[in-house]
């Protein structure tokens, strides 16, 4: 579909919300570990299968983000729904490790097709309507819906699993295919500048990828955001994949796994919904420092003997899980050039997915070697150790703009270090936020 200016954009944000809700209808996620164990896989093999998913998603995030910039976000979102739905059908019917790896690889492709294109669609829609300043709120709402979906659908999924551990995969496939219908109704927003036409042909994908990577490399603040995003992404995913072994060791009945995941995801959704208020209240530096430190504290608490009384420790992980996407995407969108915004977001996702693809293999072996408590202690030490140099780097790239803001009488919190909210000013006065 050609770009249609402002006409037809009024429904985009509503459809964006519905797309996020249904695209993450992961009925199977709360019983994924028991499902794979029922098919004969060890925890190390389960993490190897997940490494394939994150590796595929990481390697394909940048080219699929460029594809969205080139061919249009709507088409790519529809394709992502179709590929994801088919991948879960393949996993449902598989019995061997290679087929599971293939299914997870396709699932990674399906997720990469929508991982940045939907956010870029929403952001450009708001810009075209003159409401770009509302993006963090919209992204927070959408991420809250994603987390709510990841909490509510697994409740039904765990109930289905008591009748057959493969049934949740069939339910996931059906609803995710439905998400493609919401994507069909989206309208491409009008370009915010003539440069927004960059890479509309498939042959321009390589050029768009190169420009996105160069955009990250030449901006110290954007580079820091990309590295930090990868670090936090890795930490919160390590925690996520330890939840099911924790519940198994605590001897929670399988039919209740979904309820626990629902509570955890809804708590994270609340944190995501409150991201803008938390940032304004605590300030940028406190939010960025607090996410990895809170996760480290939660790992130490999880290192105690897993019991049902210790379920409350899992909720601490959900605060950074809920905050990191809306906060860091808002910072990144404020800095990135709109011509390659989806590509830049994909470059950022690349770091997180590749980091976790490597970490998940080690995580599986660590749990098999040391047990769950020992693995949690090592993860706490690693999170705290990595946070220290990132904090020093942050002071170098964001500190000057924070001090400048105070001299001008503006608050030091918020997006001071990552650019103003007026997109035209960002593009024409790049020296204000790049060094």
Mean pLDDT computed over 346-353: 77
Mean pLDDT computed over 246-254: 90
Residues 6+ apart with CB under 8 A from 87: 103, 104, 106, 107, 109, 110
**How far is the C-alpha of 43 from the C-alpha of 240, rounded, in Å?**
14
**How far is the C-alpha of 349 from the C-alpha of 233, rounded, in Å?**
9
Q: What is the CATH number of domain 9-189+209-401?
A: 1.20.1250.20
**How far is the C-alpha of 305 from the C-alpha of 92, rounded, in Å?**
34
Going by C-alpha positions, the residue among 244, 147, 137, 187 that lies closest to residue 8 is: 187
What's the number of CA atoms in the CB half-sphere (13 Å) around residue 234? Answer: 30
Mean pLDDT computed over 171-178: 95
Weakest-pLDDT range from 144-148, 349-353, 430-434: 430-434
Q: What are the φ/ψ torsions at residue 342 (nearest 5 degrees)?
A: -65, -35
**How far is the C-alpha of 331 from the C-alpha of 136, rounded, in Å?**
9
Residue-level pLDDT at 199 = 44
Q: What digits encode the pLDDT tens for the residues 384-403? A: 999 999 989 988 887 544 54
Residue-level pLDDT at 281 = 87
Residue-level pLDDT at 253 = 92
Mean pLDDT computed over 408-433: 39
Residue-level pLDDT at 179 = 93
Q: What are the φ/ψ torsions at residue 347 (nearest 5 degrees)?
A: -60, -40
> Between residues 160 and 199, which one has the greater pLDDT?
160
* Average per-residue pLDDT for the chain: 81
Mean pLDDT computed over 235-254: 91
Given a contact cutoff of 8 angstroms between Cβ atoms, the answer to whether 169 and 91 are in contact is yes
Site of tokens 């940045």: 116
The helix/strand/coil state of 266 is helix
Residue-level pLDDT at 425 = 34
Q: What digits encode the pLDDT tens for the residues 177-208? A: 999 999 988 887 745 333 444 444 445 656 66
Residues of the chain by 3-state class (helix, strand, coil), percent to 5? 85, 0, 15
Site of tokens 């098999």: 368
What 8-state DSSP symbol labels residue 189?
P
């Amino acid at each position: 579909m050609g770009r249609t200016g402002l006409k037809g954009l009024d429904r985009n944000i509503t459809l964006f919300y519905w797309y996020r809700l249904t695209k993450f209808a992961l009925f199977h996620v709360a019983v994924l570990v028991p499902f794979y164990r029922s098919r004969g896989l060890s925890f190390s093999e389960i993490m190897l299968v997940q490494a394939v998913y994150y590796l595929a998603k990481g390697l394909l995030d940048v080219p699929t983000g460029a594809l969205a910039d080139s061919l249009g976000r709507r088409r790519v979102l529809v394709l992502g729904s179709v590929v994801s739905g088919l991948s879960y059908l393949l996993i449902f019917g598989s019995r061997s490790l290679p087929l599971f790896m293939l299914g997870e690889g396709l699932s990674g492709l399906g997720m990469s097709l929508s991982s940045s294109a939907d956010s870029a669609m929403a952001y450009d829609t708001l810009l075209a309507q003159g409401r770009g300043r509302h993006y963090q709120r919209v992204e927070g709402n959408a991420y809250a819906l994603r987390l709510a979906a990841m909490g509510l659908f697994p409740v039904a999924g765990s109930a289905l699993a008591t009748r057959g551990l493969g049934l949740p995969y069939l339910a996931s496939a059906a609803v995710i295919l439905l998400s493609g219908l919401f994507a069909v109704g989206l309208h491409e927003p009008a370009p915010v500048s003539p440069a927004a036409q960059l890479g509309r042909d498939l042959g321009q994908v390589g050029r768009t990828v190169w420009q996105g990577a160069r955009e990250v490399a030449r901006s110290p603040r954007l580079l820091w955001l990309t590295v930090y995003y990868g670090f936090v992404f890795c930490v919160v995913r390590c925690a996520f994949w330890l939840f099911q072994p924790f519940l198994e060791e605590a001897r929670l009945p399988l039919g209740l796994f979904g309820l626990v995941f629902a509570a955890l995801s809804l708590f994270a959704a609340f944190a995501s919904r409150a991201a803008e208020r938390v940032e304004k209240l605590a300030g940028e530096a406190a939010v960025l420092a607090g996410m990895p430190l809170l996760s480290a504290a939660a790992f130490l608490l999880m290192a105690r003997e897993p019991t049902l009384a210790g379920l409350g420790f899992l909720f601490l992980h959900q605060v950074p899980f809920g905050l990191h996407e809306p906060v860091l995407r808002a910072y990144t969108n404020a800095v990135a050039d709109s011509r390659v915004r989806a590509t830049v977001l994909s470059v950022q996702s690349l770091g997180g997915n590749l980091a976790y693809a490597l970490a998940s293999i080690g995580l599986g072996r660590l749990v098999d070697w040391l047990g769950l408590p020992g693995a949690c202690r090592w993860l706490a030490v690693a999170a705290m150790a990595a946070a220290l140099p990132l904090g020093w780097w942050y002071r170098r790239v964001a500190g000057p703009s924070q001090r400048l803001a105070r001299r001008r009488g503006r608050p030091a919190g918020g997006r001071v270090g990552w650019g103003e909210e007026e997109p035209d000013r960002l593009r024409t006065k790049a020296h204000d936020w790049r060094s």
